[in-house]
Structure 1
């Protein structure tokens, strides 16, 4: 039977609050599968704030040309400041995060730290970015989901939220399935197999069918180290292992 997320009544609901020009993008993929079921179960909640509600003048202007010249537009400090202040009244204890390509890389460890807190308040930028004064004045932590640029921060916000939500108690059925994933042990995950035993001439490794749990565990560890050395040798250096 598929796992149905169950809320721990002793734990407060984890809250994601997103400031965006496109609230209609949410919940998007966060409304389906385990994340959506966990939201329905009250394990976490999702709310959005329309940045344009804090825009200036008749047309609710939110951006202007870059100081010093250049292409594109920049989100204004005197718009984002009040919007972030409003968000703070709704989630006073959640960290303020700006999704930015120049930010700290999102890692499994960082996702776990955020999942253990009360939630997150996320600023999804657009255009050329946001006025730097907002970041310093409001104490925004910049986080990046990778070394590439998107049209806006909404998809990055969804990635961060899902990375956190799946770590909340009650969302994933077996804790062991989380413990053995890529990055949890500093290694990439070992290969996985299931029925049929043989498929287009390829067979499941005999050791996985041996019933010897120690041998299975040793094989999985060796394969995890091999894959990590081949594909992400940078992950081995912090653990004192030689690159292969």
Structure 2
């Protein structure tokens, strides 16, 4: 028998979701997937026009535009979401910044911005929502990391380490928060057709649509999984690569993954 590590989220019409990074890619597709399932969804990102298009005037959607790297905006937007929905049952951290670059192409400003979006904003969001979730002893936190966080992949010089940090963060959050009644869901997608992956100039194996990714995420949340990773034919191969000795791993990475 399969015993899930988290509560199964199946009563979507009863769920109040705050989705961070909902204007494009996986976030936009997931917002539409959860709205179609009946959830109340607050959509946040910087681009109000894109958010409005994703919400499509759904009566149970709230467009809450703000810049997630601006710490002072978080409390105001959280207050607006709580005023409209009465609280937040699930927060999904899906915002990301990515620039394909090798180690000799690092920009200090660029790296700082990527880390602020991918990692810093998650800490600000946690500081914003956790006090209320802990006070009532319920709620869920979903963090979209990436299989790029499994191992040090070429071209992901800043993105990969930021996602590795999110994997580590989700693991320790589960240890801290599960005993206190909260759910923690770690989402590790493979390659998905998004504006971020459009920057890549190499063949991306097992490339999925955002809609397929959103369906996989909802299925994982409904199953109460801790780690939701997809597509498995790709993610399982990377998991195996992570367990190999460094000498063999580096040899395989150089042969198959490093662009020439």
Fold similarity call, TM over 0.5? no
Q: Which has the larger radius of gyration?
A: 1
Higher strand residue share: 1
Instruction: Give the TM-score normalised by structure 2.
Output: 0.30
Instruction: Give the TM-score normalised by structure 1.
Output: 0.32
